[in-house]
Each structure stands twice: as C-alpha cells, then as structure tokens.
Chain A
Amino acid sequence: MFKQYLRTGLVAAALAASSGVWAQSSPTLLNASYDIARELFAAINPKFTEHWKKKTGQDVKIDQSHAGTSRQAQDIIQGKKVDAVTFNQATDIEILAKRGLVSADWAKKFPNNASPYYSTIAFLVRKGNPKNIKTWDDLVRDDVKLVFPNPKTSGNARYSYLGAWLYANEKFKGNEAQTRDFVAKLLANVENFPTGGRGATVAFAQNNQGDVLLTFESEVINIARGDEFKALGLEVVVPPVSVLAEFPVAVVDKVVDEKGTRALAAEYLNFQYTREIQLLLTSFNYRVHEPTVVKATADKFPAIRLIDPVKVLGPWDKISETHFASGAQLDQLLARRR
C-alpha cells in the first residue's frame, strides 16, 4: 500500500520536474540580492532584458529576491533555485563556495574581484555635526553614542566592525591588544544594535538614537538626501581612511547547470560592468571602476584611502572564523561590555 503511494508520488514528481524542463522556452533568471538593492535592480533589470533581446532575440524574465545575504545563502544551501547572486559581502558567497554551489575561484570569474561596484563605511551625523565627528578616533570618545546594526545579523555592520579594526590596526601598527581595546571601546559606545539596516535608520533618524549612524557610504547618502529624512538636515561624514566594501557577484554553478542558464547568468553579471550600468550605479551612490565614469563623477565621491580587509586579515573564510564565528573576536569584545 505504502509502496504504491510512494510510486505514484515519484511519478508525479518526475512529471512535474519534466514539465519544468519543457517550460524552458523563454528563460527566467533568479537574482538573489541584499535587502536594500530593490530599487537598484528594478532599474537595471529592464535594461538587461532589452540588451538580451537585442543580442539573442529571446525574451528573458528576471526575478528578484531580496533579503539579508546570510539568509539568502541559507536559502540557496537549502535548495532555492537562484541563478546569480549579487551580494554585499564576500563571506556569504564563500559559504556557498564551501558547499560546492559556487566554484571556489568565483572571485576570478569577473573583473575587479568579481565586484562590479564597491562602497565603504561612512558616518551619518546630526545637523551641523554638533559632536564634530571626523574620523574613527571620534567614535571612541566617551561623549559619542553610536548606532549600527548587529554585526552578527547584518552584512554592512560587519564592515563597520572591520573598518574600526583595520583603522586601529594601522594606528597601533599591528599591536593586537591596543587594537582590541579600541574596537571594544567603539562597541561599548553602541547604544543600539538593530537587527537590520532599516531598523538602524529608523532608530537613528526617526527616533533620535545616538550621535552617529555607521553604514555603507551609499546608504548614508541615500538617507541624508532621500525624501523621507531630508528635512532633518543629517550630514554625511566620509572619514579619510576606511574599509573597502566590495559588492561581489557570482553565478550559482549548481543551479545554472541544472537549469541550462549559465550563459544568461554570466551575461547578466558581465552586464553590470558596462558603462551604462556603471553610470547608473553611481546614481545610487556606489563607487565604480569604469575610468570614464569615475572621472565624470569625481566630485560626488570624496577622496578616501580604502583598506582591503583581505590584504590585511587574510581570506574571507579566515576573517569569518577569527572575527565573526561564535565565540570569536567580536563575541569576546562584546562580552567586555558586561
């Protein structure tokens, strides 16, 4: 009896799967991205469908999925059929690479470490910058309170943490004890650890928590200039030195091989490097590499020296292990608050 059910079930599943294959005539592509990239890809995707139609005559449908990238990685591990990922941190692509879903040398598959655009951590301060915040040193002062999301649950907060660490590491010439003290002090100044970027924005801008909000430069500019909080006159402070935050992309090999969408996914990601899209990216306040675009938008982005975490602290899986794993550096420094 049970066997019979099982057989019927298997036949039904096989039918469903094969009908999925038959329906491939007009391809679809699922791009999994971070939370705040909704508007960005809503602007890019129509341009790509046009581009693909011109190139191949095919209509393509691009589906978007937005969530925290750690969550996205979990979903992909658990079987979500994502063709391409456009994340805001390399660690979550590393997780996919470790499980064999993405090739181990993903960072070499596309130009610039497979990141079409980048940003850094900047500071958002109140109107007139009353606490006179200029650099990372100001963030450890006793009279300064900070807001940024929990580094455990938010990608951009991991960069805020790394920014502080890398700055201190340079300042104290690699003395780890002093670096730890600096970062611990900065963490102790955090008044509020929302779980995500949106919660942090509301806490800082709407609910008046803290003196400084730390997040990506692109976000900082969006909040300061966006209609929602424009009236508050919040100001953007870009420190002279900060952390390089790359926004890496990758093709999910296991899925594209199964769906037969490899060429499409690769073209989609390569498309992000074209001049047209690079220019579009700067209008979303991301920094890009395309030389003519960089020149044309030079006045928009203040000069800054960016430290690449990988060059100082080693590959991402090692950074995750020594800093963000359970009980690692970050947890130890947070525990000092007790």
Chain B
Amino acid sequence: MAAIASRPLLLIRPAVLPGFGLSLGVSSFFITLIILFPVSALFAYSAELSLAQYWQAVTDPRVLASYRVTVSAALYATLASVLIGLLLAWVTVRYDFPGRRLLDTLIDLPFALPTAVAGLTLSVLLAPSGWVGQWFDAVGIKIAYAYPGIVIAMTFTSLPFVVRTLQPVLQDFAKEVEEAARTLGASRTQIFWRVILPTLIPALVTGGAQSFIRSLGEFGAVVMIAGNIPFRTEVSSLMIFVRLQEFEYPAAAAIATVILLTSLLLMFALYVLQGRVLRWQRSAG
C-alpha cells in the first residue's frame, strides 16, 4: 500500500530509479522469462498432438469428471472465501481488540505453509477419527477423503487472497461516509447494501477471482485430503500429474491448457461483469 501511495512521487522524481527505458526493459524481460516462456512451452508441448488427439486428451471421461469436481469445488470454495474473507477483513480493519495483529498475521499462514503439509494436517483434523471430523462422522458426514474435503482445502489455500484485497479498500473507506448515511436516515441494512458493499465490489471480485483461479490449480493440499477416487474426487491437477507419470507430456500439457484458458476466460468475464455492475450502480445511485 505504501508503494502505491508513493508511486506518484516516483514519477515526479524519476532519478530514484534509473531510466524508464531500462526499468521497463528489465520488467518485460522478467515477465517474458517467468510467465510467457513457460506458458508458450505449455502450448508448444500440447501442439505435438493432432487436433483429434488433443480433443481426446481433454475430453477423456475421467478428465471430464475431474473438471466437474474441480470447477464446482472451486466455486463453493470461492463463495466460502468471499464470505469468510469479508468477515475477517471487516473485523481486522474496523475493530481494535487484543490479538488483532496476531489474527492479521495468521491470515497469511496458508501462503507460508507448504500446501501438502496443509492438506495432510487438514486430513488428520477432519478424518472420522480427527478432532473436528469425529463430530461430523457422528452425524454421518464424511469430510476428509470426500468432496467436502476438497472444498475445505481449496478454501484454506485461497482465503488470504480475499482478505488481502479487501483490507486496503476497507481501510481507505471513510467512516464519515457511513456516518453521513446514518444522519440522512439510512437503516443499517441500507448502509451495508447501498453504501458499503458497492465500494467493496471491485475488491471482492478481484479477490474472489484470484481465489477461484488458485483453487482451480491447487494440487498439494487437495490431493492429500481428496481420497482421489476416479470419477468422484479426482481434481484436474491430479489428472495432469497422472499423465506426467505416464510420460504423456503432451496430454498433460493439453489438460493444463484447458485449465489455463478457463482461468483466463473467467477472469475476463469477471472484469467485464464488474464494469457493468459498477456502471449500473452509478446510474442507479
């Protein structure tokens, strides 16, 4: 946040960083190196397949089932992340209480923890014999090694995205606006729906999109808890892993391109939608 705030200063005093040309050159070099190269290699690998082979690789029934599992679980996980994330961001920004800083730090834990470790720990916790799992097992709900486990693992690894995108927006959101709304006679629900939420929507959409995409690709945490039963609890990233184990690199790349394109399309769709919503709000307001 500090960096964002100080950026105009940099433009006024360009001497802080050496020449614009050089810095842009270095940035685009690194983007090419760490993003464009691997992505084009991915497409190059899958280009070894003929169109029919490609189609067969990405529409194999088991792979199709894995798309269903992955996308639906990622949707649920995103929904959960957005709701819990909104709450967490709200609590850590708006209230001051002992342990607030600690809570704020803990939010980043899923980023710091190796995801396989997170998955293993969650599976121990949520298994029928685990601390949490036993209560659900008592009423016949299976979490670890079943579909709900996938959703929980995805939620766990993607939650920080939502919290961290929401926090700065909430911090900048002037309390006076809220107070003004109240003095003008708005009820609490009206303030939330008509004043607070609209300001948060862009950040919610960004954070939600990030967490959705992270969930689509999540491997380590999910495979540890999923049970990986074919057609029921196999995620697409596991299918890629399986293809690699079979030394079928092009087929693995083909499935990866599907995930990549889905992510890109969804991101694009979300941003378009977000623009629409904002315009509609402005015209309505």
Interface residues of A (CB under 8 A from B): 68, 70-71, 74, 95, 150, 152-153, 190-195, 199, 202-203, 206-209, 324-327, 331, 334-335, 337-338
Contacts and interface: CB of A to CB of B under 8 A. Distances in A.
Given A335-B230, A338-B231, A191 B246 contact: no
B231 to A, nearest CB: 5
Given A152-B242, A153-B245, A202-B123, A207 B144 contact: yes
A207 B123 contact: yes
B123 A195 contact: no
Contacts of A206: 124, 127, 129
A63 B62 CA distance: 40
B233 to A, nearest CB: 9
Contacts of A208: 127-129
The listed residue with most B CB atoms (<10 A of its CB), out of A68, A190, A208, A326, is A326
Nearest to A327: B60
A195 B223 contact: yes
B191 interface: no
Given A74-B244, A193-B227, A337-B231, A207 B62 contact: no
B227 A191 contact: yes
A193 B244 CA distance: 17
Contacts of A207: 123-124, 127-130, 144-145
Given A152-B242, A152-B245, A324-B246, A192 B230 contact: no
Given A203-B145, A207-B127, A195 B241 contact: yes
B152 to A, nearest CB: 15
A149 B249 CA distance: 22
Interface residues of B, number: 30
Interface in B197-256: 223-224, 227-232, 238, 241-248, 251
Contacts of A334: 62, 230
Contacts of B130: 207
Given A152-B242, A153-B241, A199-B120, A194 B247 contact: no
B168 interface: no
B61 interface: yes
Contact of A192 (B227, B246, B247, B248): B227
B250 to A, nearest CB: 11
A5 B238 CA distance: 41
Contacts of A331: 62
B242 A153 contact: yes
Please name the 9 residue pairs, one residue from A and one from B, whose CB atoms are nearest each other, closest first: A207-B127, A208-B129, A193-B228, A152-B242, A334-B230, A192-B227, A70-B245, A195-B223, A338-B231
B33 to A, nearest CB: 15
Nearest to A333: B230
A206 B127 CA distance: 9
Given A191-B229, A208-B129, 11 more contacts: A152-B242, A195-B223, A199-B224, A206-B127, A207-B124, A207-B128, A209-B128, A326-B246, A327-B60, A334-B62, A335-B230
Given A153-B242, A153-B245, A325-B246, A191 B145 contact: yes
Contacts of A202: 120, 123-124
The listed residue with most A CB atoms (<10 A of its CB), out of B60, B127, B228, B231, is B228
A150 B129 contact: no
A190 B223 CA distance: 16
A316 B230 CA distance: 25
Nearest to B65: A338
8 contacts: A152-B246, A191-B145, A195-B228, A199-B120, A207-B124, A209-B128, A334-B230, A338-B61
B124 A192 contact: no
